[in-house]
Amino acid sequence: MTAWIAWIAFGIICFIIEIFTPGFFFFSFGTGAILTGLLAYFLEDYTLVQLAIYAIATFLSFLLMKRFAKTIIRPDSAESNVFALIGKHGIVTKTIPRNGRGYVKIDSEEWSAVFEIDIDEIKEGTLVTITEIEGNKAIVIPKEEK
């Protein structure tokens, strides 16, 4: 088998693997291999030159993919699920005693709630801020305390 066919085959295998894996990781290897295979068709069998072409093409492909991925993946995406509740405000619907649980209404949902500050209780009707979510309970502080 000639070298250029091996490079093209390796590139195609990398592209197939990329289909099943996230992150454009194998795409860069495949791109480097395909470019090396195309150039190896025209070059004689210089293994070191082909390896250098492969390394440079793969590196440039990584750089381009990184730039491309930054345009697709937004770093400022909002939190989702329960972590989106952190920082929101709620109203105590059942008094939260020290070392006990009460209930807080956050948006349209009612959550079991506790607090970890040095007070006796948070009374019903108090506006609170959610500081953390642990399992199925919200950890809150009175809004004035924040």
Tell me: the pLDDT tens digits for 39-48? 998 887 788 8
Q: Is residue 110 packed enough to be buried (19+ CB in 10 Å), middle (13-18) or exposed (0-12)?
A: middle
Among 49, 72, 95, identify where a domain stops. 72
Domain co-membership, 33 together with 85? no
Tell me: the pLDDT tens digits for 50-100? 999 999 999 999 888 877 777 766 655 555 677 788 889 999 999 999 889
pLDDT of residue 79: 59
Domain co-membership, 30 together with 89? no
Q: Are 73 and 50 in contact (CB under 8 A)?
A: no
CA dist 80 → 11, 77, 86, 110 (Å):
37, 9, 10, 18
Name the residue range of residue 36's domain: 3-72
Domain co-membership, 62 together with 85? no
Strands 109-114 and 137-142, by their bridges, are: parallel
Looking up tokens 């345009």, which residue turns up? 71
Domain co-membership, 53 together with 89? no
The closest of 5, 63, 84 to 37, measured between CA atoms, is 5
Tell me: the pLDDT tens digits for 9-35? 999 999 999 999 877 789 999 999 999
Per-residue DSSP letter, 136: T
| Domain of residue 129, CATH code | 2.40.50.140
Tell me: the pLDDT tens digits for 100-140? 999 999 988 899 999 988 888 999 999 999 999 988 899 99
